[in-house]
Structures are given as structure tokens and as C-alpha cells.
Structure 1
């Protein structure tokens, strides 16, 4: 059995291959590559793994299991090793076992130890604290924990070890970064011995710890428990005290709670029949809605699939059903109904219902048929976007209304040839994995788009907490990749791996970038495909041309990217080409200003959707808030929103002093109008100055309804084409990263290589990190 061992919990970058023979628990070293480089974990780990394999003439597929140190250790380094190991194992479909890194270090010193000996391990926890634990050697050579891994000040560590000091003395292993002070603590104490002043988890120790934990080396090929990082400290984030809303802000017209917009797709059984009957009656009141028994029968059949939309509160607000007919080797499919309650229509949720049904069809094959009212233009357009064509008309099909129906058909899906690219995005608080296919004609089509957001974890802090985001990325990466790969298999006739992997390497939050890039490189290495480290902002631009196959006008275009972390105007000179930043915010990003204003008004986080919703009911001219950086002497393309935020605060404070009130809707509308006025004015100014005929709008704030509306009005007046991606592709996602990589591959760009580094401040003129 060949085991890959990985650890990055100390200054060492550890990659090693260990072999177990038969059921023997004795680990035999095969190869190892070790670097003492505390700031090089991400750059060195995956290349070191491949060096170990290459040295032995082995391939990733020869590995039977992976073992990784789960800590404790400095958070950033710890996550690089765990993300790499988890991704490597998931890519190959082999188990990944986590072990305590301190225990792995102890097993290295336990060779030749006698039963009853006690071994303590101490490593650097920074902040003038130590990680520590202690073990007793059993007769069979296994280590019995005497102290659970913990973090404490040096004096407290010494006190804890003194309490368990056995008669036979204490063997101490110390990481080199704390060896000096540990020696000072050990030498005066009788029976204490500093056995190692450079202790770290070595490959054999990691493998041995895993085999002991599993109950034998032969158990390492069995499924393992989920990895769990041993941080031993909570994130350094303090929940701000929520300020009560000012008495000057009038909420009396706000009758409904903010909608989360969160729904999930669920598989429906017979128990859903009563609710489906209610929805059906509401949707088809003028015709012949299905009765309860009709739904009971349909939901009970083996050849039907019904899915529903369930809100966060558990309410079923939509459903869709499909039936598989004919022989298994030559099936035909019929979509029965796609229905959403009127109160929840217009949100694009129909796609959430259709996509799993189409995915099921494409995984099996066969044409799909349906009927739709001839006057239901939105539904017809939706079906056409999935490849359905009108094949005929049935007069008076719907009774008793007598409405006509179009029959529509989607031909059996044929898997097109092309280069498949997986993209990974972790620059902020979304873990995104996207899959696209680059066709021979240069067009790029979406295969999968899976996103896991940690927004809810940040909400109580009023903004993104980098450490929380990084931890969430580590937890979400493998499940999100698994979901994207499942879609890829269904859409591409069982295909299980891509032709290339790409990841955001900057700009973004340093710790968050490391998790995604480390995992992506491990996936690329395990699958033995090229890796591209690409620019996050370039991804927002690249996604504009997705699924259209057209790059017309992109050789000279202006991009306005607006989010919680970025507000920039970029000059685009071709997809996948270096861009020029011609304007940016001098202080707060637009999305950040939304969040801060929402907080001072007593609204929830994130502020953008809440303010947008309330602004729709307010008067944008009620309050004349200032437009920053719009004077003649100001920069033509730069922004400033801190003054606007202050103006809102001062206005509310003055109203409170004057004992007057103002509707929160009017404040939101007036604030929002000031923001979108400046954004669109400067973007159109750039289009005019650069002679650009296309304005690209991207970033999370581009989902704002008023921004889209005003941009469309001003672009139409200026004769500029406005391009905005679908709402799911406005926020951070893996599809945009894969799309940028696809365009780079099409233009002949070289892969970045597995040693590529991340750069939190990556400039926009670098679309892809060059190989070293």
C-alpha cells in the first residue's frame, strides 16, 4: 500500500511517500521532499508531491491513500496542507486521513522507546504561546494521549506538563522556532530531557499515526472521517454592538421582512401532493388544474421525477415534474409542469427547477417534449434557452379556457467535442467551482456553476472576516468541487476530469486565495493536467462573453467592476489580454459603502440587496446627497464614496436633532441614486474618451436593479452597447475563472505551472501568472 503524506503545520513543507507491506503497521519510507520554508507552503507543496512520485517512477494514480497533519499549527500554513491533501484525494477517489501533527512528530521519537515513557511535543503557536501535548508509550508501541492538544503561554505549558510528569522522566520534543525557550524550561527540571530541538511531523510519523488511528495499515484504504482542522483558537473577530436605529428614520412603511432570496431544490415524494395541488389550483384557476389524486399517482410512479423549490422557512413555492417513457435504451421524456407561485415569480427560479431535470435527461439521453400556452412568452423563451423548439400548435388544448398550446421538443443531447476547464474562485467569501467547455470555434459554454457562500457567518460581524472566510473555503472546497464534477459527468457523458484547471491567484484576501489555489493545483496534479493561475478581475470581464461565442467589440471596451471589494473602471483590449485600470475608488468600494450605510440605518448585512429593495419604494430625489469626485478639477474616472457615507450619517443625525423623521425608503433611494449616478456617469465618460462601443458591467453590485436600469438608459442614449452577465455570474464564481482560462488557452497562453504563487495585490495587466 502506497501512502502520500503531507504536512504544513510548521515551517517545514513536508511531502513524502510511505509504503506498508501487508498488514504490517511498520511504515517504510519510499521518498520524501522537505523544504524549510515557512512562507513557501503553497508554492512548494504540490511540486514536492510530484517530485516524490517522479523520483520513484510513479503516477498520482498509484497512490492508495493520503495522510495529512490537521494541526495544531499556524492557520494559513495548516490550511495549505489540508486543502492540498483533500483535493488530491477527492480527485483520485481515495481516502484522506487526518492526524494530529503533534502526534505524528511524537511517533518519530517513539522508535526505540520503552513502555511507560512519556513524550511531550511543543511547537510555536506565535503570540508568545505554545502548542503542546503529551503521550505515554504503550507496550505495543502506540501512543496514549495524556494531554489533549492545547495552546497556552509557556509558563502554563510547563505547569501542565509538571502535573503529568511520570517517575521515569519526560522526553520533550520542540520545534526549532521555540527550542531556545523550551530548553530554558527543560534544563532545570530533573528527569526532563530535550530529545529534539527541531521536531516536525515526518512522513513515517504521519503514516504511523494514521495507521494506529485507523486500527491497522490495512484500514487506510477504507473511507475516513472528514478532515477537521485543529485551530485551537477562535477567529480574531469581535461582533460589533448593534446600534439602535435612529429615531429620525421612519420604518412605518416597511411591512415585510427582508427576503433572503435563498431557496433550495428538493426531491419530492408523495407527501408533497397536497401542497402541489394548492399551487396547481392557483396557477391554473381558469383551466383544469390537476387534482390531488393525479399528483399522488404521478409522484408514486417509478418513471417520474419531481423536484420542488423550498424556502429557508420550509415553504414549498414551486415544482417541476418529468416522466421517462419508452424503452431504457431508447427513452423519450415529457416535462409535465414547471410552476412557481405568483408571489415568487420573476426571480429566475424556474431555471433552478429545470436544470436538474435536464441534467437527468442528458445523463441518460433521449428527446424531451412539453406543451406550453402560446401566450406564455416568458416560458417559451425559457424553454428555448435550453434548446427546445416549437414543433406545432394544439388548438383549444387548455380547457375550459380554450387556450392554445405550442408543442415543443428538445432533441437528444449530443456531447460536443471541446476542451473542458475547471475554475476555482476563493478571493473573498464565496467558494466557487465552475466548469466550462471551449469549443473548436472559440466559443465557451457553461457546464456547471457551483457556489458555496459563507455570507451568513459574516453577517453578525457586519462585513467579511478574512479568517472566517478562509476556514469556510477549506470546509466547502471538496463538496463544491464534488457537486460541479457531478454536473460535469451528467452533461458530458460520464466524463470525470477536465483538460485543465484554473484558479484565482489574485487580487483578493491572502488567506482565502491560498486555500483555493492550493486545492486547484492539487486537483491539476492528481489529474495530470495543466494549471492556470489567473486574475480575479479578468474573470469578471471574461464571463461577459460566455455562451455567446462572440468577442465582438471586446478589443476596445470599458469594464465597470463594482463589488464590496472593488470599484474600478478598466480599459479592455481583448478577452484574456492585459487590461488597464483607468479609474478606481480612493477610499470605500461601492459595495462597502452600501454595507456601511445599511449598518448606520439599522439594516441587515449585506446592505446592497436590502437598500436596493427599499429604494425601489422610495423617492430618489427626496434628499440631495453629494456626488463624489464629480467636480471639473477631480479625476475623470476615480471614485470616492466615504464622503457620501458621511453625508448620510450627518443627515440622519441632523434630522434626529430637529426631531423630524424621514422614510427609510427615501434615504435608501437617495443614497443609491447618488452611487449609481456617479458610477454610470464616469463609466460612460470613459467610453466616450476611449471611443469604446461596449460597456461591460460586472461584480456583485452589478446585480443592483437601479444600476442596471440607469446604465441601460445612459448607454442607449450614448449609442453604447451594455453587456451584463446573468445574475448568478455577477457575484464571484468559478465559471468566470474557467472562462478566462478558456480564452487564454484559445489564444495559446502557457500554463502557470504548479509552483505559481498567489498575489493579493495582483495588477489588472496580468491576466495569467507566467510560469517560473
Structure 2
């Protein structure tokens, strides 16, 4: 027997159930199902319904062997709730998740239908509202026909269109499942087109939303078998089996049947005014940083062949010009040496890294590395952007490992990709039970932080180690760890799935919290540890911080497209959670958290649904508490891991990528000390007290009064029109600088004159709202200035224009924020949000805070933008304060007020 969790949210029905597949391969049997007609209740009803069905079937989540979910087509928002929930349940339990077209599952209800004339009436065991646990499907079996039956399925596509597909189902005999043949694949068309193309005599299964229209257009001669047709738990499993799925086997990643492109139009290219002077190349292709994704997708970890040596040597010359860079011959010797493992990072969309007939010499995906990006052993071609080598020395019974080199292309540093190379190296060492040694330049804080995050310690100093530079090196060592210790005693396989026997109870008074952030265009998953101390007090330590951004998908549209963001979240969420869980296993030996948190609002409605639905499913599957927290409260809370101790942990958990173990490829960390925030908290945990928070991003520009992390905040002011980040993007487009605008304007402004143009400062006159902002007038002023300069035949340097615009923005932001501190008596100003990475904003804020006697707190650069760490940290602080969890029936709130830190 096999127990399958079945889920569908492609229609107005919220469907879940437990279905048993007989060992002999016969027709599946419904053990329990919950089916509620609630078109807007998917988020609130689905996970509680799953637990209700499990309870009715006398089961717990650990009894589930596989998950089957409907993949549409259907209204996008509701559809993704079911798919995110199914994907998270399967990942949490370590079981396969199979997708099946929802319209195929509707067709698979045919064996459960008997008519009013003895041929077609619905079987009540698989429909209706509430829970059943009958276990007896004799009426359905008796009603099965032995002949092949065709059916046309029609559901509501909205916008005056229908989804439709045509199938032929042949019922199975004793011990065999039915077979389902696709005669016409799922499509979307106008009603007139569907009616015109429908074969005569084929009966119809139609969803309730369009049933009346279908009856009217097809006329009385067309047989309507069911006018509230929708997938049932049983028909979902039946459809999967009938289309040949092996439910015990791994399945391809879930893909929704959208059938429509997102509603987004690319803006027409704007001609750059001839009044603007400056290097156009510099304007449009400024050096990528952590804020600006480079070309291609997430890189794949590969095993490098000797043919990749020239590219590695090319990178070596860029990274280590003063430290005897390896030549091509040196890389060939290293790559081909026995007991040496040489890995690379490859961007699949880049130019070929290795050439040869039929792909000979191309890199192959590395065993155990970046398993979500490529199949093991699959050939991968693309641009090599990083490399790493580790040697295994000594006898097999007592081996030692030594990292020889790690390097990342300078264009792609600062994005956390060094972890993709480090993880498989550490996995290899753990499998061997070997200690790992390396040397690192004493002045390379970024690389040292990266290695400390993997358990390395400095054990010696080697003077003048690097030549000809004469730089000193620390010797660092990571003690031997057995694989069963490093991974918590679980056999994870290639998908990082959990061993369901792992104990989630922490050692001592430590609570591990996993947080999911999906309010906009970044899928963030963070893990923190709440350590309660004897005698009171607590500490929040960062364990993992993984972010998958869809920014590059929005760039051509000039801004975030909500539908694209939601689709990207659905695809990225499980791989990002898996990466965070790998870090959790590696750094603590544990596999599951003690609590799960999600951003519940404010944010984009569709994006919030994906992350919060998945988070609830993870919590339900692991049987741990769920916390639905405020996005803006998270930006404030992340400061709790941003001081010495906490701050060090944050920097180590997201150390900039790169950094040769021996020579230091990375250089200084993200923006230096100023970029990291020198103040911070003294020892982690909530020491913020009475403060003012200035949160500045592409979606928010607000001044909040804070009285401690996790407590209700009060909005003192906000933008009346464009957010500051939005203004940056619009001005960047006006100047032909591309998207996102913030990083490139900041870089160009550094070489310009901020006094070149006296742009207006909005809402700064006497009588204006003291803490509100308006940036639409500034954006217009920039446009008018350029137009006037063009008419006058004058020119202006783009760098000067950027500097003047930026000065107007940060002048108003900092002046109002510091004034709020003085007026409220707050002694601390906290900067947060993506725009807080801006160099001039940090500089001017520090100057004005110093003058006003106000302490400035700025989280590390990588924790200023949206991330899962802030979500997990806010939940950890709420737990430390004794707050109870949220219910699994809580809904997302795109307009959640700042005064609500936790939604129950």
C-alpha cells in the first residue's frame, strides 16, 4: 500500500485528501478528503484541510509516501497556493511530488460518475464539503465501464475565455489502474472557438463558474455529465497513475500550466538626450555588485576538465597579480593530479568554457554539488566564473584534505557564490572524516569570515608566505567531521530531502527558526538560532542566509512585474529552502528547525501567497509552530544579528563570494566597514530600545518609531507618491542607465558634483508634513532640466546629474529621519531596506547622527535588502518574548499595518 497526499486549488474548490494506492496497482481508494467550495479561501483553508484529512485517516504527516498536485490550468493566484503547499510538504517529508494537469484529473472523475439513467451521476465519496473516511469505493467500482470513454473538460479561464482539454479514459481491470489518453492538450480559447472545435457527441465535464454559459452555447443536445466538475483527491492520483507516473520515483520539478504570458509590456526605448555627456558604456554596464545580477542564471557547480585550464589561468591573472598566479600548465597539473578534486562555477548561458567535438572536454555537473541546478554527471557548457581545488593527502585510513585555491571572477563577487564551491568540498572532507587545512592572507577579512562560517580556526601564522608581494598568511584548520555527524545521521540522497526520523528537539535552550521572505522579487530563506541564556537574556545567531532574486527577469520591463515575481517564487522556493537546510546540517548537524516563519505582509499579494503557503506547509509537515510576521518589522529585527557576535555571524553567513583560501581573491568585504554598519548591537538579541527606523526601498519609504524588536511600531511618515527606490529607477531610465537604477546612479554620483544642479527638496517648506516624503516632483525636475538643457544647446555630465539627484534624495531622507529622532527623544536611528546600501545615504546619515548625538545602526549590506534572515529573526524575538504562534488558517495581508508584528 502507498499513502498519497493529493492537492488541487486550480478551481474555486480547495481540495485535499489522503488516497491509498493498492499494492496490486489497482484503482486508488479514498481514505479521507476535504473539499470546500471557496474561491478566495485557498490560503486559509488548504493546510488546515490537509491536517484535518490526516486526522480523519488516522495518520500523521510521516505516514505520507508521495504527493500529487494539480498543476492547472487555473486562476494563477489560487493555483500557486496548492503547488507551493505540495512542493513544501514533499520537500519537508523527503517524498516525491508529482504534478498532474488539473483538467486531466477532472477527466479522471469519469469512473466515479453514474448518470441519472444509471450512467452519469457523481459519487458522493469524492465530493461535497467536509471529511469522509469511508475506505469503501464499491459503488464506484461497480459503475466502471469496460469501454473507452471520451470527455471534453471545460473550466473558467476568466477574461471571457475557457480552459479546455479532451481526454479518453479506459477503466482498468482488477489489479490495474485506468489509462488516460490526451486527445487535445490543455489550451485557452474563446467560448466560440471551443464550441466550434468540439467533436459532436463528446460529453462535457464543466466547472461551475461557466456551466450556465456552456449549456447555453452548446445547446440541449450536448450531454453535460457534471456542471460542478473539479478534481477530487482520488481523481488526482488516478490521473497520475493513468498517465504512467511511478509515484515512488522522483519527479521532475513542478511546472504550472499557465497558458498565458504575464500581463507586462516592455516600455519603449527612450532616446538618451544629447544634452547628457559621459561614457555611455559606463552608464549602462557599470561593474556588477551584490545588488546587480550579472549575465546568465544561477551558476552550476561542475567538475572541471583540463580544457578549462586556460580560462582558470585567465581568472588567476586578474585575481592574484602580485602573488605568483598559476599558469595554464599549473592548472592542468592540478586538475589531472591523482586524489585532487577540482571544481568550477559555470554560467550555463555564457560562452563555452571548453570546446571539442560533440561536447568533448565540457565540464560535468559535480557529484553532490548544486544538486538543484544540474543532474549529476550531466554535461554543462558555459562560462567558467569560478574554481576551487582540494587535495586528499595521507593514507586512506587517516586522510587529510588541503584546499589549494578558490577564486571567483571579479565581476561576480559579492553574491555569496563561493558557498556553492565550499559546500561540496566540505561534503567530501566529511565523507572521508578528514580535517581540512588552508592558508589565507592575513588582510583578507572576507575570506577568513567565509572559512570561519564552515568551522575553520586560525592555528598559525606564516610570515612572507606569498611572493613576490611578501604578504603574511594564516594557517586555518577545520577539524575532522564524520558524515553522519555533519549531516545529522541522515542519508539525504541527491535532493537534500529530510530523513523523517530526525529529532527536531534542540540541545539545551536553543530554538532554531527558519524564515521565508517572498514579499517582492526576492525569495529569501534564512535560519537563525535563538539561544536563551541562564539568568535571562538571549542571543540570535545567523546560521543560513540564502536568496534567489528574479531581478534579472524584471529588468527589461523597468520594474518589478508582480506576476513574474510570483512565478519566480514558486520555482525558486524549494531549492532555496534546500540550500538553507544544507547550511543548517553542515553547521549544526540538525535537519529541521523548531519553528517556521513567513512574511505575511505587507507586499505583493501573489508573491506573499507563495512564500506563506509554503511556510505553513513546512510547519505542518514538520509539526512545528508557525509564525506569520510583518515584513517591515523584519527589516528592523535583522539588526538583532547585526552587532559584534551577532554581526560577525551575519557577515560570516553571507561572506562575499570569492577569496582564495591561500591568497584572498575577494579583497575587502561588501563596501568596507562603512557598508557593514559600525554601531550594531553589543551582543545580539534585542537591545534596540526606543529608536527611529528609516526604511527605504523600491516599495517603501517610511519613518517608523520603534520601541523594541517585535513590538508594535508607529508610522511617523511615509512617501505620498513614489518610493525613493522607485524614483531612482525612473530617473535611471530617463538617463538611459538601465534597471535597477539605484546601484548605477550611486556609482556614477561618486564621481560627480552634487552641487551642479540645485534640485528641489520635496515637502521641506514650513508647514509641510515633517516626516512625509514626495519624490515625484524631483523626478519631474530632472526630466525638465534635461529637456531645457537640450533646448538651450547646453550639456551636462551624467555623473553630475546623478550626484545632484542623489543629494536631493538623501538630503531629505536623512534630515527628516534625524529630526524624527530629536522630536521623539529616540537615541538611535536604524537604516534598513535596499536603498540603505547607498553610499551617500550612509555617509550623510552618519554625519547628521553624529551632529545630533544620535547613534546610527546599519545592518550588514547583504541584510539590508529583502532576505529570510530578517523574517526568522523577528520570529525568534517574538518567541523570546513569549509570544504564541500563528494559526495555520491565517491569510496573507498585502496592506498589513506596521503596528501588527505578528498575525494570528
Pick the aligned partner of 2:260 from 203, 212, 233: 233
What is the CA-CA distance between 1:448 and the residue it aligns to?
1.6
CA distance in 2, matches of 1:707, 1:274: 42
C-alpha contact (below 8 Å) 1:626/1:674 kept by paired residues: yes
Name 1:150's counterpart in structure 2.
Answer: 187
* Helix, strand or coil at the partner of 2:247: helix
C-alpha contact (below 8 Å) 1:25/1:208 kept by paired residues: no
CA distance in 2, matches of 1:457, 1:153: 30
Name 2:138's counterpart in structure 1.
Answer: none
CA distance in 1, matches of 2:253, 2:215: 37
CA distance in 2, matches of 1:285, 1:236: 49
Alpha-carbon distance change, 122 to 380 in structure 1, aligned in 2, over 3 angstroms: closer
Alpha-carbon distance change, 704 to 363 in structure 1, aligned in 2, over 3 angstroms: farther
Please show how residues 7-46 of structure 1 align to structure 2 within 5 Å: 7-46=8-47
Name 1:672's counterpart in structure 2.
Answer: 806
Pick the aligned partner of 2:216 from 174, 181, 184: 184
Alpha-carbon distance change, 568 to 302 in structure 1, aligned in 2, over 3 angstroms: farther
Please show how residues 734-753 of structure 1 align to structure 2 within 5 Å: 734-753=868-887
Which shifted more, 692-701 or 273-282?
Answer: 273-282
Which shifted more, 306-315 or 479-488?
Answer: 306-315
C-alpha contact (below 8 Å) 1:366/1:411 kept by paired residues: yes
Name 1:115's counterpart in structure 2.
Answer: 147
Please show how residues 348-747 of structure 1 align to structure 2 within 5 Å: 356=423, 360=427, 363=430, 369-372=437-440, 391-399=459-467, 404-408=472-476, 418-441=510-533, 442-493=538-589, 495-546=590-641, 547-548=646-647, 549-551=683-685, 553-747=687-881
TM-score where L is the length of structure 1 = 0.91
1:150-179 Cα deviation digits (max 9, x unpaired): 222222221121xx22xxx23222222222
Name 1:245's counterpart in structure 2.
Answer: 272
TM-score where L is the length of structure 2 = 0.78
* Helix, strand or coil at the partner of 1:554: coil
What is the CA-CA distance between 1:232 and the residue it aligns to?
1.6
C-alpha contact (below 8 Å) 1:320/1:353 kept by paired residues: no
Which shifted more, 509-518 or 305-314?
Answer: 305-314
CA distance in 1, matches of 2:712, 2:426: 36
Pick the aligned partner of 2:249 from 222, 239, 255: 222
5+ unaligned residues in a row in structure 1: which ranges? none
What is the CA-CA distance between 1:105 and the residue it aligns to?
1.5
Name 2:233's counterpart in structure 1.
Answer: 203
5+ unaligned residues in a row in structure 2: which ranges? 113-143, 173-177, 352-382, 487-506, 648-682
What is the CA-CA distance between 1:488 and the residue it aligns to?
1.8
CA distance in 2, matches of 1:403, 1:184: 83
Which shifted more, 294-303 or 115-124?
Answer: 294-303
Name 2:61's counterpart in structure 1.
Answer: 60
Number of residue equivalences: 758
Alpha-carbon distance change, 710 to 331 in structure 1, aligned in 2, over 3 angstroms: farther
C-alpha contact (below 8 Å) 2:686/2:709 kept by paired residues: no
Name 1:105's counterpart in structure 2.
Answer: 106
CA distance in 1, matches of 2:571, 2:446: 39
Task: Please tell me whether residue 765 in structure 1 is matched to residue 899 in structure 2.
Answer: yes
Alpha-carbon distance change, 485 to 203 in structure 1, aligned in 2, over 3 angstroms: same
Alpha-carbon distance change, 399 to 135 in structure 1, aligned in 2, over 3 angstroms: closer
* Helix, strand or coil at the partner of 1:88: helix
RMSD: 3.0
C-alpha contact (below 8 Å) 2:170/2:179 kept by paired residues: yes
Alpha-carbon distance change, 363 to 714 in structure 1, aligned in 2, over 3 angstroms: farther
What is the CA-CA distance between 1:389 and the residue it aligns to?
5.8
CA distance in 1, matches of 2:405, 2:320: 11
What is the CA-CA distance between 1:336 and the residue it aligns to?
3.8
CA distance in 2, matches of 1:389, 1:226: 39
CA distance in 2, matches of 1:116, 1:375: 75
* Helix, strand or coil at the partner of 1:427: coil
Alpha-carbon distance change, 101 to 408 in structure 1, aligned in 2, over 3 angstroms: closer
* Helix, strand or coil at the partner of 1:85: helix
C-alpha contact (below 8 Å) 2:106/2:232 kept by paired residues: yes
Alpha-carbon distance change, 393 to 69 in structure 1, aligned in 2, over 3 angstroms: closer
Name 1:172's counterpart in structure 2.
Answer: 204
Task: Please tell me whether residue 193 in structure 1 is matched to residue 223 in structure 2.
Answer: yes
What is the CA-CA distance between 1:590 and the residue it aligns to?
0.3
CA distance in 1, matches of 2:837, 2:891: 31
C-alpha contact (below 8 Å) 1:187/1:193 kept by paired residues: no
